[in-house]
Amino acid sequence: MNLITILIIAVALAMDAFSVSISLGIHGKHNRKKVALQVATMFGLFQAIMPLLGYFLGNLFSSKLYNYNNIVAFILLGLIGLNMIREWYKKLSGSDVLNDGTCEIEPSMTTKFSRILLLAIATSIDALSVGFSFSLIKVNIYLSIIVIGIVTFILSYIGTLIGCSIGYKFKHAELFGGLVLIGIGFEILVRL
């Protein structure tokens, strides 16, 4: 897998973190740069750790799946992509962003460290599955996790700074990310 493909996967994986970081930016208006750094660091770290964990777990089972590597990778990436599209649709139909671009702020939502940690874990679950699929194909896992971590850090930092002021314009980010992952899954399947 080449660097461009890894970069595309990294951007697709970071769409969840980017979307969540925009909403977190709403709550950090008084200290936005500090909150942005916390969010970006935590999201980037977990997006890098999870594919590595998935990769090592995948290696434990890869000998049993060797003849089906490309098919399994296609199915995993396709399911992740479909799930991202489902989440996008769910958010779109029950959106907390009003038509004029302003937000309804949920009072219980805060930028406490524990909440950021939970969100970092939740947004990186897809990366665990991608790491598993990486173990089934030829990929430099260390380069991949570095790229995924850095891309997620940058997009999360930017997303937090953007906040909800223009967040409504990015409501289709998860749809884009899901479609990209499905497309990469097809590309892997075609290599059979």
Mean pLDDT of 83-106: 60
CB proximity list for 22: less than 8 A, separation 6 or greater: 159, 160, 162, 163, 164, 167, 170
Q: What is the pLDDT of residues 19-39, one digit of tens each?
A: 778 767 765 555 667 778 888
Q: What is the pLDDT of residues 105-157, one digit of tens each?
A: 343 344 577 778 887 887 887 888 889 888 888 889 999 999 999 999 999 99
On whether the CB atoms of residues 141 and 56 are closer than 8 A, the answer is no
Of the candidates 151, 147, 135, the residue with the CA atom closest to the CA atom of residue 53: 135
On whether the CB atoms of residues 69 and 137 are closer than 8 A, the answer is yes
**Entry pTM:** 0.69
Cα–Cα distance between 104 and 97 in angstroms, integer?
Answer: 7
Compute the radius of gyration of the chain from its Cα atoms. Answer: 17
